[in-house]
């Protein structure tokens, strides 16, 4: 394999077995992977497994092949370092610059992007020492993915579960792609709290029916996932979306437009960036039936009284703090740019992402094409591509406003 050189560090936790799947994702997509397990990790998954899966010799200590100076050479040659799982011990050593084994030496010598995927018990993750160590690493530009919530060792559940390998791979791949393109660090979002809304709201008519729309939430989820890959702390407010939770994202589930409004306003109070990618229903029934509406009771031409829902983006625009960035979306079926300009002004947004939608167009699709209009009069056309690429283009524009002198 002649692809990008990735170092996969594996620390000593029960989640080490999941790193085998992460390794497979890297190798099957053409990456050259050198596995660097700690001594404790080898008690969970043995050296022959790592060697067979990677097709590379496995470096286990600083003494093997000492003439090649592995404690320096491995880190220097890496284009990306991923540690999964990253235990509290490894995180502490990395934060304090300790180097008592090959993995921690590699972390000190690497000058490429570094991703840590923590896995530990909830009490360990929430301990002030771990929190301080994670903050230190993020300050230095290390991407530390928030652990997932779920089953831990034994019967324990809570925050501290290793994110799924596919999600770690996504973050690593996006970060590596940016590094290989030589894109500026200023386009990252370290220390930023980002709120993203996704999906479509549903307004109940009765206990079994609702008014809704075709939004799948895929663009909002792509925005959340790519923000994690840029180092942001992400809150995703998800309205009726069936997609898996992105790694490192705090997900808040809502159903109606009013629920979306309350959750978004609360999260936006301390957010640096709010991206309104959800499709809230513009109207709701004036009255909701307490039992299923019967056809024989309403006849062949029933009348439905609707009232307008609040404009959440406009409310956010009115309450926007100095320095806070608001990104609105405008999904239109015709004359999209004209309608988008009007909405940008009305909502007091910094950016508005405009796209034309319809049946089998954008909603539920894997690709998108958008026009991003700025409050400064700028217009950026983003041609059709995967929704992750669209998301990255949007974050580049956001980052340019967050760091105007970079």
pLDDT of residue 135: 93
pLDDT (tens digit per residue) in 316-371 = 999 999 999 999 999 887 888 889 999 999 999 999 999 877 555 556 688 899 99
What span, in angstroms and rounded, lies between the C-alpha atoms of 249 and 246? 6
What span, in angstroms and rounded, lies between the C-alpha atoms of 21 and 405? 41
Would the pLDDT of 29 be above 80? yes
Q: Is 194 helix (H, G, I), strand (E, B) or coil?
A: strand
Calculate what percentage of the chain has a pLDDT beyond 90.
Answer: 74
| Residue 376 exposure: Cα atoms within 13 Å on the Cβ side | 7
Same fold, 5-183 and 187-288+300-402: yes
- 47-54 and 18-28 are packed helices; what angle lies between their axes, rounded to 10 degrees? 20
Of 83-87, 125-129, 211-215, 306-310, where does mean pLDDT reach its minimum? 211-215
pLDDT (tens digit per residue) in 79-107 = 999 999 999 999 999 999 999 999 999 99
Q: Where along the chain do its domains lie?
A: 5-183, 187-288+300-402
CATH ID of 187-288+300-402, from 3.40.50.10300, 1.10.167.10, 3.30.210.10, 3.90.1010.10: 3.40.50.10300
Would the pLDDT of 405 be above 70? no
Would the pLDDT of 272 be above 70? yes
Instruction: Point out the catalytic residue in the list 213, 309, 355, 368.
Output: 213
Place of tokens 């947004």: 349
- Assign a CATH topology to domain 5-183: Rossmann fold (3.40.50)
pLDDT of residue 355: 87
pLDDT (tens digit per residue) in 331-346 = 887 888 889 999 999 9
For the chain, what is the mean pLDDT?
90
> φ, ψ for residue 384 (rounded to 5)?
-60, 135
Concerning whether 213 is annotated as a catalytic residue, the answer is: yes
What span, in angstroms and rounded, lies between the C-alpha atoms of 54 and 350? 46
- What Rg value do the Cα atoms of the chain yield, rounded? 24
In the chain, what's the furthest Cα-to-Cα distance? 87
Cα distances from 390 to residues 115, 260, 289, in angstroms, run 23, 24, 41
């Amino acid at each position: 394999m002649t692809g990008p050189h990735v170092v996969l560090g594996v620390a000593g936790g029960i989640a080490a077995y999941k790193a085998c799947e992460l390794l497979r994702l890297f190798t099957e997509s053409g990456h050259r992977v050198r596995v660097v397990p700690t001594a404790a990790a080898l008690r969970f998954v043995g050296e022959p497994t790592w060697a067979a899966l990677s097709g590379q010799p496995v470096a286990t200590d600083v003494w093997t092949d000492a003439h090649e100076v592995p404690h320096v050479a491995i880190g220097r040659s890496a284009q990306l370092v991923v540690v999964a799982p990253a235990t509290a011990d490894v995180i502490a050593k990395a934060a304090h610059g300790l180097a008592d084994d090959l993995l921690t030496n590699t972390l000190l010598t690497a000058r490429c992007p570094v991703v840590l995927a923590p896995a530990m018990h909830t009490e360990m993750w929430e301990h002030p020492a771990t929190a301080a160590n994670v903050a230190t690493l993020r300050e230095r530009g290390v991407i530390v993915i928030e652990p997932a919530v779920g089953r831990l060792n034994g019967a324990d559940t809570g925050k501290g579960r290793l994110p799924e390998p596919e999600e770690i791979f996504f973050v690593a791949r996006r970060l590596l792609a940016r590094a290989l393109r030589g894109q500026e660090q200023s386009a990252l979002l370290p220390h930023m709290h980002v709120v993203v809304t996704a999906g479509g709201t549903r307004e109940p008519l009765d206990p079994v029916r609702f008014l809704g729309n075709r939004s799948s939430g895929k663009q909002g989820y792509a925005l959340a996932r790519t923000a994690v890959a840029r180092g942001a702390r992400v809150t995703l407010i998800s309205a009726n979306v069936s997609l898996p939770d992105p790694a490192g994202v705090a997900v808040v589930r809502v159903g109606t437009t009013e629920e979306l409004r309350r959750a978004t306003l609360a999260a936006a109070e301390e957010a640096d960036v709010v991206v309104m990618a959800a499709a809230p229903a513009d109207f709701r029934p004036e009255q909701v039936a307490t039992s299923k509406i019967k056809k024989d009771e309403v006849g062949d031409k029933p009348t439905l009284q609707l009232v307008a829902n609040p404009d959440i983006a406009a409310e956010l625009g009115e309450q926007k703090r100095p320095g806070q960035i608001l990104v609105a979306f405008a999904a239109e079926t015709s004359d999209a740019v004209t309608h988008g300009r009007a909405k940008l002004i009305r909502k007091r947004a910094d950016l508005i992402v405009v796209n034309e939608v319809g049946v089998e167009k954008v909603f539920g699709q894997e690709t998108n094409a958008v026009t991003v209009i700025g409050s400064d009069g700028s217009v950026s056309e983003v041609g059709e591509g995967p929704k992750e690429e669209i998301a990255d283009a949007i974050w580049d524009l956001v980052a340019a406003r967050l760091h105007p002198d970079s």
